[in-house]
Structure 1
Amino acid sequence: MNVSVSSDRPSWRVGGFLLLAAAVLACLSALLINGGPLYYFDTGSYIRQGNVALNSLLPTISEGGGAGGGGAADQDNTATGSRSLIYGIVMAIFFRAGALIAVPIFHLAGIFLVVWLLARTTNRSLEESHSTSLLTSVPLLAAALSSLPFYIAYMMPDIFAPVLLIVIAALTAVGRTMRGWELFVMSGLAVFSVVSHPSHLAIAGLMVPFVILAALFMKARGRWRAVILLVIVLAVAVAERKAFQIAVETKTNKEVVYTPHITARLIVDGPGMDYLNDACPDANVPTCALHEALSWSDDPYRMTVSHIIFERSPKLGSFRLMSAEDQKKVARSQRDFAQAVFLSRPIATSWALAKNGYRQILRDSVWMTIPTEQALDNARHLARLDDSQLHLIQGGRLSKYRGWLTPVNALHGFVYAVSFAIIVVLLLTPRSVPRDVKLFALFILIGIAVNALVCGGVSQPADRYGARVMWLLPFTAAFLLVIKWPAVPRVATKGDL
Structure 2
Amino acid sequence: MVGPMPGGHTINTQILRVTDTRSVWIATIAIPLLLLAPAFWNGYPLLQWDTGGYLARWYEGYLVPSRSTVFGIYLHLGERSGFWLNLGIQTLATLWILQLVLRVLGLARPIRLIAISLVLVLTTALPWLSSMLLTDIFAGLSVLALFALVLHGEKIATLEKAALVAFTAFAAASHSATLAVLLGLCCAGWAVRPWLRRQLPLGGLVQGSLTLAAGAVMLLTANFALSGQLAWTPGGYGVPFGRMLQDGIVAQYLRDHCARQNLKLCPYREQLPPTADDFLWGHSMFNTLGRFQGLNDEMGFIVLHSLAEYPAWQARAALTATADQLAHVATGEGTNGWIPHTYGIIERYIPAQLAPMRKAKQQRWQLDFTAINRIHVPVALASMLAVALLFGHGLWRRRRDDFTLLAGTVTLALLGNAFICGVISGPHDRYGARMVWVATFVVLIAAARALAKDDADELLSP
TM-score bin (small chain): 0.7 to 0.9
Deviation at 1:28, TM superposition (A): 1.8
Match of 1:218 among 196, 206, 210: 196
Greater shift in the superposed pair: 332-341 or 97-106: 332-341
Tell me, yes or no, if the aligned pair for 1:249 and 1:255 is still in contact at 8 Å: no
Q: CA deviation at 1:175?
A: 4.0
For 1:464 and 1:457, locate their aligned partners in 2 and report how far apart those are by CA, in whole Å: 15
SS of the counterpart of 2:46?
coil
Check if 1:207 corresponds to 2:185: yes
- 8 Å CA contact retained: 2:69, 2:223: no
Matches within 5 A, 1:164-179: 164-175=142-153, 177-179=155-157
Check the 8 A contact 2:172/2:179 in 1, yes or no: yes
Q: When the two structures are aligned, how many residues end up with a matched partner? A: 442
Q: Counterpart of 2:309?
A: 344
Quote how far apart the aligned CAs of 1:225 are: 3.3
C-alpha distance in 2 between matches for 1:161 and 1:447 = 10
Question: What residue number does 2:53 align with?
Answer: 45
SS at match of 1:206: helix
- The residue that corresponds to 2:408 in the other structure is 442
- Please tell me whether residue 310 in structure 1 is matched to residue 281 in structure 2: yes
Between the aligned partners of 1:339 and 1:171, the Cα distance in structure 2 is: 37
2:85 alignment counterpart: 102
Shift of 1:305: 0.6
Q: Does 1:131 align with 2:108?
A: yes
Structure of greater relative contact order (alpha carbons < 8 Å, 6+ residues apart): 1
CA contact (8 A) 1:194 1:200 kept: yes
In the alignment, structure 1 residue 4 sits paired with structure 2 residue 9 = yes
Q: Does 1:353 align with 2:318?
A: yes
Alignment partner, residue 459 of structure 2: none
Measure, in 2, the Cα distance between the counterparts of 1:462 and 1:133: 35
* AA in 1 matched with 2:92: A
Report the residue type matching 1:223 in the other structure. Answer: P
Aligned-pair CA distance for 1:221:
7.0
Aligned equivalents of 2:408, 2:151: Cα separation in 1: 10
The one-letter amino acid of 1:152's match is S
- Aligned equivalents of 1:238, 1:387: Cα separation in 2: 33
Relative to structure 1, the CA distance from residue 347 to residue 320 in structure 2 (aligned partners, 3 Å threshold; closer, same or farther) is: same
Indicate how the Cα distance of structure 1 residues 444 and 221 shifts in structure 2: closer, same or farther if over 3 A, else same. Answer: closer
| Partner Cα distance (1:208, 1:274) in 2 | 37
Paired letter, 1:34:
N
Residue type of the alignment partner of 2:99:
W
| 348-357 vs 11-20, greater mean Cα deviation | 11-20
2:169, 2:351 → 1: CA distance? 37
Matches within 5 A, 1:445-460: 445-460=411-426
1:263-302 equivalence runs, <5 A: 263-280=241-258, 288-289=263-264, 291-292=265-266, 294-295=268-269, 298=271, 302=273
TM-score by length of 1: 0.78
User: How far 1:19 sits from its partner (Å)?
Assistant: 4.1
Contact 1:167–1:186 at 8 Å: present in 2 too? Answer: yes
Q: Secondary structure of 2:63's match?
A: strand
Residue type of the alignment partner of 2:303: A
Unaligned runs of 5+ in 2: 1-5, 457-462
How far the C-alpha of 1:180 sits from its partner, in A, is 3.9
8 Å contact 1:150–1:369 — kept in the other structure? no
Deviations 1:232-269 (A, max 9, x none): 23322333444455456647x99974261111212221
Q: 1:148 to 1:395 in 2, by over 3 A?
A: farther
Q: Distance in 1 between matches of 2:359 and 2:324?
A: 29
| SS at 1:364 equivalent | coil
Asked if 1:380 is matched to 2:343, the reply is yes
Structure-1 separation of matches of 2:369 and 2:232: 42
Which of 23, 35, 43 matches 1:27? 35
Partner-residue secondary structure (3-state), 2:333: helix
Aligned mates of 2:50, 2:135 — CA distance in 1: 11
Distance 1:423 1:323, change over 3 A: closer
AA matched with 1:115: L
| 188 and 250 in structure 1: CA distance in 2 versus 1, 3 angstrom threshold | closer
Match of 1:90 in 2: 74
Q: 2 CA distance for matches of 1:215 and 1:395?
A: 54
Could you tell me which runs of 5 or more consecutive residues in structure 1 were left unpaired when the two chains were aligned: 54-77, 124-129, 490-497
In the TM superposition, residue 337 of structure 1 has moved relative to its aligned partner by 4.4
Are 2:391 and 1:408 equivalent residues in the alignment?
no
Give TM-score scaled by structure 2 length.
0.84
Partner of 1:117: 100
**Alpha-carbon distance between aligned partners in 2 of 1:404 and 1:270, rounded to the nearest angstrom:** 32
CA contact (8 A) 2:63 2:223 kept: no
Q: How does 1:174-193 map to 2 (within 5 A)?
A: 174-175=152-153, 177-193=155-171
